Amino acid sequence: MENPEQRDRDKTLITEPKEINAAEEDVLVIEWEDFEHKLARLWSLTSALKESNDKKKSLQEKLQSLIQVKTESLNQLNELEVMRERLDARKLVMGNMLTRCMVATEDAKKQEEMLSAEVRSLLVAGISLSVAKKQLQESNGLLTEERGYIKLKNVHRKLRARHQYMVSQVSLLYPVKILVGSTQEQELESCPSSSTLGNSSVSKRINQGSLMILGLNLTMLPFTKMSFFTGKKEVQRSATALGYVAHAVSLIASYLQVPLRYPLRLGGSHSYINNHAPSVEPTSSDLSWNTSLSANVKPAEFPLFLEGQDTTKAAYAVFLLNKNIEQLLNFIGIKSLGPRHVLANLKELMRTVQSSEFMNS
Tens of pLDDT, residues 320-348 = 999 999 999 999 888 888 877 888 899 99
Which residues make Cβ contacts (< 8 Å) with residue 361, sequence separation at least 6?
160, 332, 333
Residues 171 and 303 in one domain: yes
Residue 29 has pLDDT above 50, yes or no: yes
Q: Are 111 and 158 in a shared domain?
A: no
Residue 241 lies in a domain: yes
Tell whether 330 is covered by a domain. Answer: yes
The answer to whether position 134 is within a domain reads no
pLDDT band (50, 70, 90) for residue 148: low
CA 130/CA 128 separation, integer angstroms? 5
Q: Is the pLDDT assigned to residue 1 strictly greater than 60?
A: no
- Of 119 and 146, the structure prediction assigns the larger pLDDT to 119
Tell me, yes or no, whether 219 lies in a domain.
Answer: yes
Of 342 and 224, which is predicted with more confidence? 342
pLDDT at 81: 92
The three-state secondary structure class of 242 is helix
Q: Is the pLDDT assigned to residue 190 strictly greater than 50? A: no
217 and 308 share one domain: yes
Q: For residue 235, name the pLDDT band (cuts at 50, 70, 90).
A: confident
Let me know if residue 251 belongs to a domain.
Answer: yes
pLDDT band per the 50, 70, 90 thresholds, residue 269: confident
Do 102 and 239 lie in one domain? The reply is no
Residues 217 and 336 in one domain: yes
| Average pLDDT for the chain | 77
Q: Let me know whether 220 and 254 are in one domain.
A: yes
Are residues 77 and 171 located together in one domain of the fold? Answer: no
127 vs 292, higher pLDDT: 127
- 3-class state of residue 200 by DSSP: coil
- What average pLDDT does this structure show over 169-187? 69
User: Tell me, what's the pLDDT at 10?
Assistant: 54
HSE toward the beta carbon, residue 336, CA cutoff 13 A: 17
161 shares a domain with 250: yes
Range of the domain at 97: 73-124
Residue 119 has pLDDT above 90, yes or no: yes
Strands (E), 181-316: 188-190, 203-205, 209-213, 216-217, 264-265, 272-275, 300-303
Number of structural domains the chain divides into: 2
**pLDDT, tens digit, 9 for 90 and up, residues 87-97:** 999 999 999 99
Q: Which of 53-57, 99-103, 180-184, 241-245 is predicted least confidently?
A: 180-184
Decide: pTM greater than 0.75: no
| Residue 28 confidence class, pLDDT cut points 50, 70, 90 | low
**Amino acid 220: pLDDT:** 54
pLDDT digits (tens, 9 = 90+) for 9-25: 555 444 444 444 544 55
State whether 342 and 268 are in the same domain: yes
CA distance linking residue 42 with residue 30, whole number of Å: 13
Give the separation between CA 166 and CA 63, rounded to whole angstroms: 128
Q: Is residue 41 part of a domain?
A: no
Residues 83 and 158 in one domain: no
Q: What is the pLDDT of residue 314?
A: 85
User: Do residues 118 and 215 share a domain?
Assistant: no
**Residue-level pLDDT at 112:** 92
User: In percent, how much of the chain has pLDDT > 70?
Assistant: 71
Question: What's the pLDDT score for residue 8?
Answer: 56
Strands 176-180 and 209-213: antiparallel
- Closest among 361, 350, 104 to 248, alpha carbons compared: 350
| 234: CATH | 1.10.418
Would residue 195 count as lying in a domain?
Answer: no
User: HSE on the CB side for 298, CA within 13 Å?
Assistant: 3
* 221 and 310 share one domain: yes
Q: Confirm whether 289 is domain-assigned.
A: no
C-alpha 263/C-alpha 240 separation (Å) is 18
| Residue 188 confidence (pLDDT) above 70 | no
